[in-house]
């Protein structure tokens, strides 16, 4: 390569703590990561969220040094790591199944990294004790790790990774082996520990709730690229792509075609009538109009500044936090599923005619995916 | 009739077990018999044949040679085979299945054919050192047994542990040594024990590679059996049986016989 | 397509992870592959080459001598029939024994299993030595036969074909029992109950249910025993010697006594072909059994 593009720091600001620049990784002929860029600030907790096969675990392994990228660079705390082998990177990893060493006790597992650093016996003992205290596992120091429950094993895996004071902590779906209730407790507990220690963390998950709960920022990944990097609220309220919209949270979506565009607002012709939205598209573009469930009201007066869908209710599916409405368009007979936060008092009888309305400002428009254009 | 079949098969099992054990068990009373002929039932008790082993210079030398060859060939197979097995299991090389088949294929080749092939190859390249030829051949003989057990152990091993050790400051070789080796130790022990026994007992490959000065134990024993059969052989055989049983007991403690016998 | 999209998160097809990581760690396999290539594969190739090498160029002389000569054809035939007899007897004796072994439980099974396993680990020289002692005129077999009144005088076993077959069955029987044991143990008792409730008698149940289900074990055990019997050298050599010539004996004599390498190599190649045919036939049979069984 003739010129390696440096991850340019924004003018005036110091360079980010972790910089991943133009990273590309291939397996044979398949490109798993394509020219990927990511920056993380010190002390931040960033989630890599995406479906399986999106490259999030590959990115994690590249940062860890367990794989080599074809091109690109990785810098942590001003230290160029691209060519540094895994064991010299000072990166901590909590593995999916924890990868505890069954031939060692709990304390020996936690001490493993410290003995590699040739610390004194006293220091190892003290720091292992502190780490076990931190994850509330001190009484288990001399147990065998195979005798521990899933949650306890996870605590040990965390203690083992943070006791060496890594420059960055990587977590590879650490909750996937736990049952749901335990998972929620552990999420909050882990978040507290990491925040108290101020450890910069990158967290791989395919579970959007987990990412929303734990993260300062979320990187939604798809097909080897980051589609949207932002705060949880940002990701949810203004997703940058249709994929992000679909992957995080629920939504009601209508395919259509832009008929007019002026003043930062477009009008879209759909099977359920014309919708307006704040966006800029050329007339004639195939698009998808979308709205989040909590923006939708039922049967409220339509008026200026609101989009309306009139349809006959065919089915109501109660899903706890959300309710799914199956509707059939009056004009076209097309089917639509709408998700709303709560039913109006008195419920909705099947077969009733509804008007769903939402504010134009809450309406999102995305270019239609090539295959699903109407 | 079902019960009759069950009883019949139980009787057959009992007879089969007696039949299988008999030739092994028979050498024990013979070894303690005072007479030079192998008559049954033995008359009296004597340790003269055990004392005789010390004078049987050929047997002791062969015993020492066989121990060396079996030990060294097992160690070499263990080292080369484990590295290769890791590369196969982790997909570091393409065509892993084919490589595994190749590495275990000496099992399918008749021992004599292997021995003849190696004899000719040794002549062709001018390898005259019997010890070296034996050692090389025995690595080939032991390799399949090591490969089979190590591959089976590695299939159950979580390689994330190696990654975990690397992230905690171990280089790749150090991670293998500190995490992989202790965790698949049972597989190593049973594979190594089997390989050692197979090498120690090998006749058909060795017969073509030994020379007058380097004779392995099976060759020496068979020679003696053909030349001057006397109960000294029974004494040696008894010691070998006892050692084998001891080794099996140790192995059973470590891994369990059934896992070892998994053919 | 109506232009209406569903409300659930889109599921993308997961990209299959390639196993081949292909970095420097592939070199770990190199020492073993080089070693086996040079010390194992190369000599076998050389053996094949030598078997067709004459004084001047290629020749099939060795094969002509082995396959064209009635004596050597007889030796090959005798080796095969001997292996067949040993295999058949091992199967007939080993099947019920393996069945009974698989049906016992607990400590008893461990103990009996060890008794089958132990002979496998004891030196073949020791076992054959024990067999020659058993077969002696004043050995334990005759002692048993006379004391139980089955015979009046001692029977001659030494150097007879009968002692050869009995001896080989003794040495190779565990190789039959172990694979049979492992398939019979997997037999689900419910199959047998199901067959019984469908009105099948014990014999029908065995023939229609048990036998087909244990066929993989029969194939595996028989092919192993046949392969090692046909190549056996130590046991026939000690029990009967040159009174019953086998391919192994011819090969060994050609190399160790007559120095007739062409003959020996050709015979070795014939044996190699036989051994490999057994391997391929058994794996083919196993695979077709698996396909038929849908397992």
pLDDT digits (tens, 9 = 90+) for B153-181: 898 899 999 999 999 999 999 999 999 99
Chain C CB contacts of B102 under 8 Å are 33, 36, 41
Mean pLDDT in residue range C89-109: 90
| Residue in C32, C49, C142, C249 to test binding to B, most B beta-carbons within 10 Å | C32
More confident residue, C102 or B54: C102
Closest Cα in chain B, distance from residue C6 (Å): 38
Residue percentage of chain C with pLDDT more than 70: 89
**Contact (CB<8Å) C13/A247:** no
CATH number at residue A137: 3.40.50.300
A:265-324 residues touching chain B, CB 8 A cutoff: none
Confidence of residue C38 (pLDDT cuts 50, 70, 90): very high
Please report, for residues A112, A207, B40, B145, the alpha-carbon distance to residue A190 in angstroms, rounded to integers and kept in the order given: 21, 16, 77, 46
CB atoms within 10 A of CB B251: 20
Same domain, A35 and A108: yes
Residue A9 is assigned to a structural domain of this protein: no
pLDDT value of position B77:
97
A-to-B residue pairs, Cβ atoms closer than 8 angstroms: 60
Residue C32 is assigned to a structural domain of this protein: no
Same domain, A203 and A270: no
Question: Which mean pLDDT values do the consecutive 10-residue runs of chain A (374 residues) have?
Answer: 45 79 88 92 94 91 91 92 90 93 94 94 95 93 90 94 94 88 89 92 92 93 93 92 90 88 88 87 91 79 77 83 79 73 74 85 89 47
Output the CA torsion C207→C213→C219→C220 (10° steps).
-140
Residue A261 is assigned to a structural domain of this protein: yes
| Residues C260 and C150 sit within 8 Å (Cβ to Cβ) | no
Which candidate, B21, B58, B68, B67, places its Cα nearest to that of B233? Answer: B58
CATH number at residue C221: 1.10.3720.10
Helix axes of B2-31 and C106-121: crossing angle, nearest 10 degrees = 50
**Contact (CB<8Å) B40/C140:** yes
Residue C93 is assigned to a structural domain of this protein: yes
Residue A8 is assigned to a structural domain of this protein: no
Residue C4 is assigned to a structural domain of this protein: no
Same domain, A79 and A228: yes
**Contact (CB<8Å) B170/A117:** no
How many distinct structural domains can be found in chain A?
2
pLDDT value of position C295:
43
A240, A274, A290 - which closes a domain: A240
Residue C175: pLDDT over 50 = yes
Domain of C207?
77-293
CATH number at residue A336: 2.40.50.100
| Residues A141 and A167 sit within 8 Å (Cβ to Cβ) | no
CB atoms within 10 A of CB C24: 9
Same domain, A54 and A171: yes
Confidence of residue C17 (pLDDT cuts 50, 70, 90): very low
Residue C8 is assigned to a structural domain of this protein: no
- Give exposure, A305-322, as e/b (b: 16+ Cβ within 10 Å): ebbbbbbebeeeeeeeeb
Q: How far apart are CA B73 and CA B198, in angstroms?
A: 11
Lookup: tokens for B148: 């089979």
Q: How many residues comprise chain B?
A: 263
Catalogue all structural domains in chain B, each as residue range(s) with its CATH number.
Answer: 56-229 (1.10.3720.10)
How many distinct structural domains can be found in chain C?
1
pLDDT value of position A302:
62
Mean pLDDT in residue range B182-203: 89
Q: What share of chain A is helix, strand, coil (3-state, %, to 5)?
A: 25, 35, 40
Same domain, A184 and A124: yes
Chain B CB contacts of C96 under 8 Å are 8-9, 12-13
CA atoms within 13 A on the CB side of A349: 3
Same domain, A322 and A274: yes
Residue C228 is assigned to a structural domain of this protein: yes
- Give exposure, A249-279, as e/b (b: 16+ Cβ within 10 Å): bbbbbbbbbbeebeeeebbbbbbbbebbbeb
Q: Which value, in Å, is the radius of gyration of the alpha carbons in chain B? A: 22
Same domain, A158 and A260: no
Residue C12 is assigned to a structural domain of this protein: no
Chain C CB contacts of B39 under 8 Å are 136, 138-139
Residue A7 is assigned to a structural domain of this protein: no
- ipTM rounded to 2 decimals: 0.87
Same domain, A32 and A158: yes
Chains that touch B (3 or more CB pairs under 8 A): A, C
Comparing alpha-carbon positions, the chain B residue that sits nearest to A167 is B167
C:230-249 residues touching chain B, CB 8 A cutoff: 230-231, 233-234, 237-238, 248
Residue B56: pLDDT over 80 = no
The answer, for C116 touching chain B at a CB cutoff of 8 Å, is yes
Same domain, A269 and A160: no
Please report, for residues A37, A236, A239, B11, B150, the alpha-carbon distance to residue A233 in angstroms, rounded to integers and kept in the order given: 21, 5, 10, 77, 51
Q: How far apart are CA B33 and CA B54, in angstroms?
A: 18
Confidence of residue B259 (pLDDT cuts 50, 70, 90): low
Closest Cα in chain C, distance from residue B152 (Å): 17
Please report, for residues A26, A229, A239, A309, A323, the alpha-carbon distance to residue A298 in angstroms, rounded to integers and kept in the order given: 49, 33, 24, 10, 12
Q: How far apart are CA C42 and CA A245, in angstroms?
A: 62
Closest Cα in chain A, distance from residue B178 (Å): 10
Tell me the pTM: 0.81
Same domain, A203 and A284: no
Which candidate, C246, C220, C222, C221, places its Cα nearest to that of C234? Answer: C246
**Contact (CB<8Å) B171/A161:** no
The answer, for A67 touching chain C at a CB cutoff of 8 Å, is yes
Q: How many residues comprise chain C?
A: 295
Domain of A258?
250-342+349-372
Comparing alpha-carbon positions, the chain B residue that sits nearest to A111 is B168
The answer, for C159 touching chain B at a CB cutoff of 8 Å, is no
Chain C CB contacts of B216 under 8 Å are none
Q: How far apart are CA A327 and CA A355, in angstroms?
A: 10
List the single residue in B37, B106, B208 with the smallest CB-CB distance to C255: B208
Residue A10 is assigned to a structural domain of this protein: no
Residue C76: pLDDT over 90 = yes
Residue A206 is assigned to a structural domain of this protein: yes
Same domain, A112 and A86: yes
Residue B193: pLDDT over 60 = yes
Residue A2 is assigned to a structural domain of this protein: no
Q: How far apart are CA C274 and CA C82, in angstroms?
A: 14
List the single residue in C123, C173, C255 with the smallest CB-CB distance to B20: C173
């Amino acid at each position: 390569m003739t010129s390696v593009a440096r991850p340019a720091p924004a003018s005036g600001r110091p360079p980010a703590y972790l910089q991943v620049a133009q990273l590309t990784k291939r397996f044979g002929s398949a490109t798993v990561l394509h020219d990927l860029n990511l920056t993380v600030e010190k002390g931040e907790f960033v989630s890599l969220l995406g479906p399986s096969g999106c490259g999030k675990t590959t990115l994690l392994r590249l940062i860890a040094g367990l794989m080599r990228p074809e091109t690109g660079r990785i810098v942590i705390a001003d230290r160029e790591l691209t060519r540094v082998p895994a064991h010299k990177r000072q990166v901590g990893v909590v593995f999916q199944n924890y990868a505890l060493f069954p031939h060692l006790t709990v304390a020996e597992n936690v001490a493993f990294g410290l003995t590699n650093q040739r610390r004194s016996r006293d220091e190892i003992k003290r720091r292992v004790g502190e780490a076990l205290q931190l994850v509330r596992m001190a009484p288990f120091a001399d147990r065998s790790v195979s005798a521990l429950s899933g949650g306890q094993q996870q605590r040990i895996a965390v203690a083992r990774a943070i006791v060496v004071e890594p420059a960055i902590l990587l977590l590879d779906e650490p909750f996937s082996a736990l049952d749901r209730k335990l998972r929620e407790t552990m999420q909050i507990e882990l978040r507290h520990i990491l925040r108290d220690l101020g450890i910069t963390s990158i967290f791989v998950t395919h579970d959007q709730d987990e990412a929303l709960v734990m993260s300062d920022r979320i990187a939604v990944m798809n097909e080897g690229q980051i589609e949207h990097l932002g705060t949880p609220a940002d990701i949810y309220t203004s997703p940058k792509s249709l994929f992000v919209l679909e992957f995080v949270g629920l939504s009601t979506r209508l395919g259509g075609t832009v008929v007019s565009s002026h003043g930062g607002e477009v009008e879209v012709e759909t099977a359920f009538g014309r919708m307006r939205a704040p966006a800029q598209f050329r007339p004639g573009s195939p698009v998808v109009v979308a709205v989040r469930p909590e923006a939708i009201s039922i049967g409220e007066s339509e008026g200026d500044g609101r989009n309306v869908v009139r349809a006959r209710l065919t089915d109501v599916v109660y899903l706890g936090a959300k309710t799914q409405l199956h509707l059939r368009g009056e004009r076209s007979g097309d089917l639509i599923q709408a998700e709303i936060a709560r039913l109006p008092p008195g419920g909705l009888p099947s077969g009733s005619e509804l008007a769903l309305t939402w504010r134009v400002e809450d309406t999102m428009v995305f270019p239609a995916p090539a295959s699903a254009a109407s | 009739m079902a019960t009759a079949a069950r009883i019949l098969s139980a009787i057959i099992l009992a007879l089969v077990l007696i039949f299988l054990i008999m030739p092994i068990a028979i050498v024990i009373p013979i070894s303690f018999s005072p007479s030079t002929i192998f008559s049954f039932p033995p008359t009296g008790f004597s340790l003269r044949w055990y004392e005789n082993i010390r004078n049987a210079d050929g047997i002791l030398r062969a015993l020492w040679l066989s121990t060396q060859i079996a030990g060294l060939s097992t160690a070499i197979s263990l080292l080369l085979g484990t590295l290769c097995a890791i590369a196969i299991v982790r997909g570091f090389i393409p065509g892993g299945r084919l490589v595994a088949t190749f590495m275990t294929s000496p099992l399918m080749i008749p021992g004599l054919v292997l021995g003849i092939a190696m004899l000719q190859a040794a002549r062709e390249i001018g390898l005259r050192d019997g010890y070296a030829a034996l050692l090389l051949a025995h690595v080939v003989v032991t390799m399949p047994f090591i490969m089979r057990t190590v591959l089976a152990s590695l299939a159950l091993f979580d390689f994330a542990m190696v990654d975990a050790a690397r992230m905690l400051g171990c280089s790749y070789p150090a991670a293998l040594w500190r995490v992989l080796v202790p965790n698949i130790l049972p597989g190593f022990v049973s594979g190594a024990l089997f390989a050692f026994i197979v090498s120690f007992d090998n006749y058909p490959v060795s017969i073509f590679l030994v020379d007058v000065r380097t004779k392995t134990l099976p060759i020496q024993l068979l020679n003696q059996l053909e030349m001057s059969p006397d109960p000294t052989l029974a004494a040696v055989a008894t010691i070998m049986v006892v050692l084998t049983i001891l080794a099996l007991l140790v192995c059973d403690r470590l891994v369990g016989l059934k896992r070892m016998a998994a053919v | 397509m109506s232009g209406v999209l569903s409300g659930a998160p889109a599921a993308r097809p997961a990209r299959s992870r390639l196993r081949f990581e292909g970095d420097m760690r592939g070199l770990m396999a190199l020492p073993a592959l080089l070693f086996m290539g040079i010390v194992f594969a190369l000599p076998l190739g050389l053996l094949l080459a030598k078997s067709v090498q004459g004084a001047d160029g290629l020749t099939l002389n060795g094969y002509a001598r082995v396959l064209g000569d009635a004596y050597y054809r007889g030796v090959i035939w005798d080796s095969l029939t001997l292996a067949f007899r040993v295999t058949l007897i091992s199967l007939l004796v080993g099947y019920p024994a393996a069945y009974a072994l698989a049906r016992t439980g607990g400590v008893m099974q461990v103990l009996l299993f060890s008794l089958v396993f132990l002979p496998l680990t004891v030196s073949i020289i020791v076992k054959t030595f024990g067999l020659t002692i058993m077969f002696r005129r004043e050995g334990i077999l005759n002692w048993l036969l006379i004391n139980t009144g089955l015979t009046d005088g001692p029977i001659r076993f030494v150097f007879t074909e009968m002692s050869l077959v009995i001896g080989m069955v003794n040495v190779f029987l565990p190789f039959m029992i172990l694979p049979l044991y492992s398939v019979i143990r997997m037999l689900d008792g419910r199959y047998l109950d199901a067959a019984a409730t469908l009105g099948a008698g014990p014999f029908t149940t065995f023939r229609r249910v048990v036998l087909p289900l244990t066929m993989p074990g029969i194939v595996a055990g028989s092919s192993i025993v046949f392969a090692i019997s046909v190549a056996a050298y130590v046991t026939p050599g000690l029990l009967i010697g040159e009174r019953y010539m086998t391919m192994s004996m011819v090969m060994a004599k050609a190399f160790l006594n007559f120095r007739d390498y062409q003959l020996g190599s050709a015979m070795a190649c014939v044996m190699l072909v036989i051994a490999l045919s057994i391997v391929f036939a058994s794996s083919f049979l196993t695979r077709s059994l698996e396909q038929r069984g849908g397992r």
